[in-house]
Structure 1
C-alpha cells in the first residue's frame, strides 16, 4: 500500500478520536461551560448529524476539486475548529465547532476512500479501505482512552489540543505524498457530472450494500454503546474493568478490519455469508450468557472482530460497485455507516426504556444482523436467478 494511504489513516485516527472522545469528557465540559449534562450531550448528537449530512454533501460539493486540495482544505478546517473549541468559553461556539468538525470529517473520509481506491491496485480496494478504517479502530483502542486521560489530568480542552496536534503531521504528509488529481477516479469519472454519479448510486446492488452496511454498523454500535452497563450490571465487573472490556472490543475491531481487508478483495461473499451468520449467533449467545465473565470477555473480542470484518467488506463492495461514482460512493458509504452508528444506539435505548434490561442491546444487535442476512440473501437469490436466466438465453441463442 502507498505511504500516502497510511498518512490518510493518521488523519482518520485523529478524526475518530475526536468523534468518540466526548463520551469521557461530557461531565467536565458541562461543569466548565455551566450547562446541564443533557445539554452537553448534544455535542455528540451534533457531530453524528453532521457526519450523516456532511458525507454526501461535502463529497458532492468538492467532487470537481483536485484530491490533494480537497483533503487539505477539509483537514485544515478540522484542525482549526478544534483549536477554536479548545479556547472558547461559549457552549454555542463549541456546539458549532462540532458541527463543522463533523462536516469536515465526513467529507475527508469520503474523499479519502475515493483516493485510496484510486491509489490501490484494481483488485486491492478492500485492503485500501481497511487501512483507512484501521485509523478509526486505532482511535477506539488508543485515541479515546488517551483523550479521556488528558481530560482527567489537564482538563477537557487538552484533548481538543491533542486532536489538533495529531492532525498537523497528517497535513504535512498529505502535501508531500498524496498525488494531485481530480476528486473522481479515471477518465469516465472525471467526465461524469454529479447527476451521472447520482444515477450510478441508484443501482440496486449499491443501494442494498449501503443498507447492509447501515444495519451491520447499527448492530455494532447498539451493543458497544451500552457495553459498560451490560458488563457491570449483568456480568458483574467493577467499573475498573470497563476500560479493559472496551479495549478488547477495540482490539477485535482492528483485527477485523485487518482480516477483512485481506479477504474482502478475494472472497467477499464468503466473508459476508459466514461472517454474517457467525455475527448473528455471537450476539445471541452474548445476550444469553452475559452473566458469565469468561464468555463475555471472549465474545467482546470475537464480536468486535466479526463486526468490523463484515463492515469493512461491505464498504469495499461499495467501492467496487461505485466505479462510476467514485467520490459520491465514498460519501454515501460514510453516511450509511453513520446512520447505523446513530440509529443502532437509539434502538438499543428504546429496548432499555421498555424495561427489557441490559441484555436487550445484544438481542437488538442480533435482530439487526438477522434483517441484514435476510435482505442480503434475497438480493443474492435475485442475482443468481438473473444470472441463470441470462445464461439460459445465451445457450438458447447458440
Structure 2
C-alpha cells in the first residue's frame, strides 16, 4: 500500500515521517517501514491506544488520528463548560476533512459488518502468500535474487514492500522469500551481484508550453507521468495549462557491480547454540577474520543469519565414492537437511552427488555421505 497524501503521509495507516519514527517505524535510503503492512499495523495499534489514553472516546481518537491530537486538544480547550468529551460536541469546530472522515469511517465499518446486506459477500479474497524469512547481509536487487531462486521480482516486492528501491540494505536484513526458497538462496547468495541505491532525487522545473501534455513532458525528461503528477499534486483528471511551472523529479540510475569474490568462500547459516568463536574454530579461522569478512560490528549472531566463511586453505576435495557411505532418502528430506545431519557443507554434498541447488531428490533415492 503506497498511497501518499499531500501531507506526505504514507502507507496503509497513513503515517507522516515524524509520527512513524515516534512509534518505531524506521526510514532511511533503503527502507520505509510505513509501507510494511505488518509493522505499520503494529505501530498504528500503539498510536491508537496512546490517543485513547488521552481522549477516552474512540470517535475523537479517529478525529485526532486524521488531523493530529494537537489540533483536537486546541478545539477541546476552546469548548464551553458543558462539553461532554464526545466527538459530536467538536464536530462543527474541526477541519472539514476530519468532520467528514469520522462519519465515513463509521459508515465503512457498518458496511464491513453487513456485507451480505449490501451485496458484497461474494467478493473473493486472495489467500496470503506463504513465506519464510532468511537473514541476508548482501546489498542485492530483488530482481537478481528472484532470477537466482526461480521466482519473480513482483512476488519478492509484495513480500518485502518496505524496500524503497527494491534493494536490500548491506547490513543484516530479514528477507521474506516464498516458502521453500531459503536453501536455494543460501547456496546462490555469493553469485548475486552487489547493487547500489539510486542517487538522491534531483528536482528541475519546467514551464508548460502550449500543446504539451504530462506524457510528452515525461518523455522529454526520461521520467514517468506518475512521478510528475505526484510531485505536483496533480490528480488523475487534472489538466495542465500553458505557463504553469512543474517540478520534474529526476532520479539517478541503479548501478549493479559484482564484488570481487573471496577465494574458497563458502556460506554458513547460524544455528541454535552457535557463537562466532565456535564457528571460527569449526572452520579453522578467527573471530576477527569472520567479523571483517561479514562487516560485523560485534560478535552477536542470531539464528538464520548467513555468514561468509573464508579459510586460508581450500576446502578438502570430496572423498571418492568407494570411501563414502550410502544414505537412503526419506520423505521430507532435502539436500540441506541431509548435509546438516551428517555435518557436511551443503556445497560439498551437492558436488559429491552431482546435484545442483535446483535438483530434486526423492524418497528411496541413494545418495553418498561422508
Tell me, yes or no, whether TM beats 0.5. Answer: no
- Structure with bigger helix share is 1
Larger relative contact order (CA 8 Å, sep ≥ 6)? 1
Range into which the TM-score falls when normalised by the shorter chain: under 0.3
Structure 1 length-normalised TM: 0.22
Give the TM-score of the pair, scaled to structure 2: 0.23
Higher alpha-carbon Rg = 2
